[in-house]
Structure 1
Amino acid sequence: MNLLVIKLGGSTIHDVSREFFQSLKDLKASGYKMVFVHGGGPDINSMLDTFEIPVEFNEGLRKTTPEVFEIVEMVLSGKTNRLLVEMLEQNGISAIGLNGTDVKLLEAELINEEKWGLVGQISNVNTELLRSLLEKNLSPVLTPLAVTENGQKVNVNADMAAGAVAKAMKAQSCIFVTDVKGVLNGKDLIPVLNEDEAKTLMESQVISGGMIPKVKTALSVLQTGIKNVMIVSGKDYFFKNGTMIGTTFCKGEKIKL
């Protein structure tokens, strides 16, 4: 099975273009299956403000208290997931929205409850369920929520959740949709980078500004053990004429998708 795991951030979902969806349709026509994982940061922050729920930060990360988690779950499952499913359906991609907590689809272990609250790290993925949906030509759209062994629902970093799903499903690539087409050297797109090359380009400031956190995220997810990670644009074609358009990150020897 040619499988791609595609992650969209909460803000990215609102900005994806017609060309982006055409790329998804072309991938589907080329025989690819797709699993989507999404975030919901901006909408979550807005809802926390609306309900005047105090937010605590530790080391720059928001602590997911039980009160915060209620908002996170409500926004991700009740708004963002529905929106992405509807957008995919409207653009010819049959999709089904799922909470990561449904039938223990995503299982996790708490990272550090004292410091970050109800935040987990994926420990198991129900690959059998995902494969059965893919075989029915349905694209699962997952919230980055999970459940622990004792039934506690937890929040999971959406980037790392996508990486965990990609690894468990033996996906060909984990694709991060951003507002840029990939890493540029001047005006030229760099199609493939291994870890060492990416780090060197950050040190030399060829990779700078807002691209640095995107690249660091890609390299972090690469550490989960998946084959490669891509950064692509949600504002343009990222698959055209049988070719992926973006920057692929891989370990050691370069691998072209």
Structure 2
Amino acid sequence: MNIIVLKMGGSVLAKLPDSFYKMVVDLKKQKICQPVIVHGGGPEINQALKQLDVETEFVDGLRVTTKKVLDVAEMVMSGSINKKIVGKLQKEGGTAIGMSGVDCSLLQTTPVDPEGSLGFVGKVENVNVSWLELLIENGAIPVISPIGMDASGQRYNINGDMAAAAVAQTLKGKLALISDIPGVMENISGKEIVHKQLTNEEIEAKIASGIIYGGMIPKVLSALKGLTSGVKESVILNGLAPEDLKKYMEGKPVGTKVILKREVQHV
């Protein structure tokens, strides 16, 4: 089974064309790959927090999550966003099922910071893969909201990129972080270029120099962490160009592939 986990962040969700969802459904129907979707919801969560007058802040791209913020994040992601994605896939002829990491103890979670400075922000310790396999075997495209739960029943907000990496490594699949840009970009001599490949060392250097910043930091770090934990391959793709997803599955060079180290070129 050629599994690809598609992480769709909140900022790109509002921009994705219907043709992207059609491409996902078609790739499954043609048995080119088995898609599994993990989504975020940052902008919609921000909007809901503002409307409800709940304050929030970020530390290194991760949202500090109080109980109030957690309740809003769960409402927005597991509620409206999750069902919108399911609806769009089914409108294009797919069979999709929406669930959060709480359902069936799908994303078993512990706090990122036991000291509590980030609040209820979690990291995935284990993925209940048997439920995902059951859904996949029955022809579904799973759509996962990154809210997890620990053994005591406490819920946690999980960074979507990190949740997607955990799902991909458990399923031994590829990880595609869907963006609204063609990949990791850099202005070199006045010209915007897309890096076709970036290694661990190159990513660390570009974060340190500020070339990679903001929301792209957890993306590239999750892509790297996935590689060291069993993900077959990590790539950042442009969801606004749905054909890029098909090209990637066909082995063509699109987006930014994140690799641990470059292969030595033998002359």
Query: Could you list the per-position Cα deviations for residues 117-174 of structure 1 after superposition, in whole angstroms to 9, with x for gaps in the alignment?
Result: 1111100101000011111110100000111011111111111000011111111x11
Q: How far apart are the structure 1 equivalents of 2:94 and 2:61?
A: 37
| Aligned match of 1:239 | 245
Other-structure match for 1:52: 53
Shift of 1:199: 4.8
Residues 219, 249 of structure 1: 8 Å contact kept: no
Structure 1 residues 213 and 50: CA distance shift in structure 2, 3 A:
closer
SS at match of 1:115: coil
3-state DSSP class of the match of 1:140?
strand
Change (3 A) 1:193 1:22: farther
TM-score, length of structure 1 as denominator length: 0.86
Deviation at 1:64, TM superposition (A): 1.2
Instruction: Could you list the structure 1 runs, at least 4 aligned residues long, displaced by more than 6 angstroms after superposition.
Output: none
1:75 match: secondary structure: helix
| Partner residue of 1:248 out of 234, 252, 257 | 257
Identity %: 33
Return the alpha-carbon distance in structure 2 between the equivalents of residues 8 and 223 of structure 1.
18
Contact persistence 2:177–2:219 (CA under 8 A): no
| Structure 2: gaps of 5 or more residues | none
Report the counterpart of residue 132 of structure 1 in structure 2: 134
Partner of 2:165: 163
Alignment pair present for 1:120 and 2:140? no
What's the offset of the Cα at 1:7? 0.4
C-alpha displacement of 1:195: 2.4
Unaligned runs of 5+ in 1: none
Partner of 1:86: 87
Aligned residue number for residue 16 of structure 2? 16
| Amino acid in structure 1 at the alignment position of 2:11 | S
Larger mean Cα displacement after TM superposition, 240-249 or 47-56: 240-249
Query: 8 Å contact 2:184–2:195 — kept in the other structure?
Result: yes
- The amino acid across from 1:48 in the alignment is L
Contact 2:65 2:119 in 1 (8 A): yes
Q: What number of residue pairs does the alignment pair up?
A: 250
Secondary structure at 1:79's aligned position in 2? helix
User: Given residue 83 of structure 1, which amino acid in structure 2 is its aligned partner?
Assistant: K
